[in-house]
Amino acid sequence: MQISIYRYHPEQDNKPRMQTYEVEEQPGMMLREALLAIKEQDESFSFRHSCGEGVCGSDAMNVNGSNKLACITPVSELKRPIQVRPLPGRPVIRDLVVDMTQFYEQYRNVQPYLIRKEPLPEQEIRQSPEDRDKLDGLYECIMCGACSTACPSFWWNPDKFHGPQALLASWRFLADSRDQATEERLDALEGPYKLFRCHTIMNCVEVCPKGLNPTRAIGKIKDLMLEKSV
């Protein structure tokens, strides 16, 4: 099996190039395993990865034009020749390793933590199973960055638009019956960019390796804003 990989080494290369490697395909092989086989052939090839089972979120990359997690992408399902590139729209540090600083900054910008104003009870804060169900599809985000780096609005305004990942995180707290900062959270999302640069292109939904739906979360934030303004 041939895999063509984006290579760029700032100490040696003026510009990026594609390099093709031959890898022996194994039954059930995931793309990450194929990349590890390439790393054995050529130790100068760099990419991030860790858990190998889709929970740490390290190995998001662009595969045949679509953002995927390498460790849960079977090579058997990929059209040949396989083309692997770094996540789009981010500065490349080396090969498939991109600079995710702005992505993490946008996450930090949405106050991604539970805010509770009342005194805390001696035991747990009660939450009904129904209210807890509202967090399903939100809290499972692994911050791999596949969604935000697939979003044209984030490509153009990564410094101003929060992007689908951070907005999913924002809704995760707005939707939590325990959180007591709804007003501040909504106020902070005002303006033309932070939230409203989402044009429901829905690339984020298509690429999320965990099957989450940031576009729906963004819609719910907009609904809540509308509700609060009347």
Partner 1 sequence: MPDPLRPIPHRRFDALIIGAGGAGLNAALRLASADLRVAVVSKVFPTRSHTVAAQGGVNAALANVLPDDWHWHMFDTVKGSDYLGDQDAIEYMCREAIPTVYELEHAGVPFSRIDDGRIYQRAFGGQSQNFGGDQAARTCAAADRTGHAILHTLYQQNVRARTHFFDEYFAIDLIRDEEGAILGALVLEIETGETLVIEAKATLLATGGHGQVFRTTTNAFINTGDGMAMALRAGVPLMDMEFYQFHPTGVAGKGMLITEGARGEGGYLINGDGERFMERYAPRALDLASRDVVARSMVTEIREGRGCGPNKDHVMLRLDHLGADVVHRRLPGITDICRVFLGIDPAEQPIPVFPTAHYAMGGIPTDRFARVVAPARHGPEEIVPGLYAAGECACVSVHGANRLGGNSLLDILVFGRAAGTDILQYVAENPNHRPMRDADIEPALTRLGRWDRSGEGESVAAAKADLRKLMEDHCGVFRDDATMAEGVEKLKALRQRVEHVRLKDQSRTFNTARIEALELDNLVDVGMATLMSALHRQESRGAHSRVDYPERDDEQWMKHSLYARDGDRMDYKPVRTKPLTVESFPPKARVY
Q: Under rule CB under 8 A, how many of the chain's residues touch partner 1?
A: 56
Establish if 35 lies at the interface with partner 1 (CB under 8 A).
no
Q: State which of residues 111, 181, 188, 224 lies at the interface with partner 1 (CB under 8 A).
A: 111
List 78, 143, 147, 195, residue binding partner 1 (CB under 8 A): 143
According to CB under 8 A, which one of 176, 197, 207, 212 is a site residue for partner 1? Answer: 176
Q: Tokens 């989402």 — which residue?
A: 198
Kindly tell me which of 153 and 166 has the beta carbon lying closer to partner 1: 166
Binding of partner 1 by 140 (CB under 8 A): yes
Amino acid identity of residue 12, one-letter, is Q
Find the binder of partner 1 among 14, 15, 120, 183 (CB under 8 A): 120
185 lies in the site for partner 1, by CB under 8 A: no
- Are the C-beta atoms of residues 48 and 96 closer than 8 Å to each other? yes
DSSP codes, 20-31: EEE----TT-BH
Residue 190 φ/ψ region, left for φ over 0, alpha for ψ in the -120 to 50 degree band, beta for the rest: beta
Residue found by looking up tokens 């325990």 in the block: 178
- 79, 69, 77, 78: which is closest to 32 by C-alpha? 69
- For position 117 contacting partner 1 by CB under 8 A, the verdict is no
CB 200 within 8 A of CB 156: no
- Rounded to whole angstroms, how far apart are CA atoms 146 and 139? 16
| Closest distance to partner 1 from the beta carbon of 145 (Å) | 10
Which stretch in 6-14, 147-155, 188-196, 200-208 sits in contact with partner 1 by CB under 8 A? 6-14
Residues 36, 73 contacting (CB under 8 angstroms): no
* Structure-block tokens of residue 1: 């099996």
Site for partner 1 in 44-103 (CB under 8 A): 44, 46-58, 72, 74, 93-95, 97, 100
* CA distance linking residue 185 with residue 56, whole number of Å: 27
- Which of these ranges, 16-24, 82-90, 172-180, 218-226, lies near partner 1 under the rule CB under 8 A? 172-180
When computed from its CA atoms, the radius of gyration of the chain, rounded to whole angstroms, is 20
Residue that the structure tokens 């194994």 belong to: 26
Identify which of residues 90 and 153 has a Cβ nearer to partner 1 in the complex: 90
220 near partner 1, rule: CB under 8 A = no
Binding interface with partner 1 (CB under 8 A) = 9-12, 28, 39-40, 43-44, 46-58, 72, 74, 93-95, 97, 100, 104, 108, 111-114, 116, 120, 122-129, 131-132, 135, 139-140, 142-143, 173, 176, 178-179
